[in-house]
Amino acid sequence: MLWRLRPFVPDDLNGWRVLDVGCNAGFYGFEPARRGASVLGIDVDAHCLDQARWAAGQLGLHSKVEFRQMEVCVLARDSASFDMVGLRGVFYHLRYPMLALDLLAERTRRRLMFQTLTMPGDSVYGPVDNCPIEDRTPLLESGWARMAFIEHRLAEDPTNRWRPTTPGGGDASSERPAHRGAPRP
């Protein structure tokens, strides 16, 4: 997967601050640190963070990478901003995924790299400027993006709360064109 991200990450990251959300054992934070960035990795799992700290030490990156145990929504209380934010394989675990995405977008100065598990398929529903509330049938059509709420667990993981569907599936950070929503008022 790292080779897929290479074209989207500059070779020289000196002076950049990078946030790796759901960093697990730190894998995706180590390459930006090697390229000169100061990296903050956050995760809720203390065991993964212990592994990440160990790996950073083994790689000689302990001065470039910091790991904290925290939820992404805690960033709402923090005004920190980052040049690059990675949100990979976390979205469907979040209790409030859109809030988290909004918080991260507000704190991203240059790049937000988003990747999530999606449903299979390659159909894309055509552009719709407006869908009247009385006629919601287009939302049932193949290719219409939607999110399924998982009430208990999926794949034996109780934190799998959402299953997003993205038309065409795939890796949002490398295979899909950038999408910007409407400007905020």
CB within 8 A of 52, min separation 6: which ones? 23, 24, 25, 26, 29, 41, 43, 65, 67
Model's pTM, two decimal places?
0.75
CATH topology of domain 2-165: Rossmann fold (3.40.50)
DSSP state of 185: -
Give the CA count within 13 Å in the CB-facing half-sphere of 108: 18
- Where are the domains positioned within the chain? 2-165
For 114-161, what is each residue's pLDDT tens digit? Answer: 887 776 777 777 777 787 888 878 777 777 777 777 777 777 777 766
Q: Percent of the chain at pLDDT above 90?
A: 45
pLDDT grade for 169, boundaries at 50, 70 and 90: very low
Choose between 173 and 123: higher pLDDT: 123
